[in-house]
Structure formats: structure tokens, C-alpha cells
Amino acid sequence: MTTRTTLTRRRAFTLLEILLVLAILGVLATVAAVNLIGASDRAMVKATSSQLTTFKTQLQQYRLDKGSFPTTAEGLQVLVPSYMEKIPGDGWNNAFNYICPTQDPNRPFDIKSSGPDGQWGTEDDLSVWAL
């Protein structure tokens, strides 16, 4: 009796298939990284906008109690401790800029953040009136 040896053929991945999978993983990783970086910036802008809204509300309460808004010289510090526990920085830990009175009669005060770049007068600055 003869024994027949059966050869089984194993299928392996080709180099082309491996390169295709690596390319797809690279594209997915790039898209994920871009979205994560953008999410961080958006979160800081949202936190800063929320803080500006809080300042606006507290300043309006201050005006109701005292009869006028604090001057630029008094600054936001007059809100502590009666209206706010402390004066926080913006999302990038920069100080807010408070001006009162302003040149615009419809905007008795203005509070601004220098935005992500930390430079005043650039297009990424955030204002309490531009929310």
C-alpha cells in the first residue's frame, strides 16, 4: 500500500495587500489626529465664550446692584468675591481685556480674549459682543 502525501497549500498575504492595509491605516490615523487637534481648539474657544457670557451676566448684575458698570481702572477684579469667586483666564490662560466705557453707546463695556495666538488685534480675538 502506498501512502499518499497530501500537500496543503497555505494562502499568505501578498506584499500588495499588506501595503494597501498599511496605507488605509495611515489615512485613518491622519484623519483621527486632525480631528483630535481641532477638537482641542474648539473646546478652548467654547470655554472662553462661556466665560465671556458669565462675565457679561455678572457685570449686568453688578450694574443693577451698584448703578453703573465698573470702570476700566476698576477692572473685573471688583466682581470678586461678591459676584465671582475669582477672575479666571481664557481657555489659553491669558488675561481678559475689560474696557468701560466704550465708544459704542450700544455696548457700555467690552471684554475680549486674545484668542489662540495670544496676540491682540488679530482675527482670532474673541469679544463678549461677538458671541
- The pTM score is 0.71
59 lies in some domain: yes
Which range of residues forms the domain containing residue 116? 50-131
98: domain CATH number? 3.30.700.10
Q: Tell me the percentage of the chain whose pLDDT exceeds 90.
A: 53
User: How does residue 63 score in pLDDT terms, banded at 50, 70 and 90?
Assistant: very high
41 lies in some domain: no
Q: 10 Å Cβ neighbour count for 100? A: 19
* Residues 68-107: tens digit of each pLDDT: 999 999 999 999 999 999 999 998 999 999 999 888 888 9
Q: Tell me the percentage of the chain whose pLDDT exceeds 70.
A: 92
* Residues 99-129: tens digit of each pLDDT: 998 888 889 999 999 988 888 888 889 999 8
Compute the CA torsion angle 90, 93, 99, 104 (nearest 10 deg).
Answer: -40
86 lies in some domain: yes
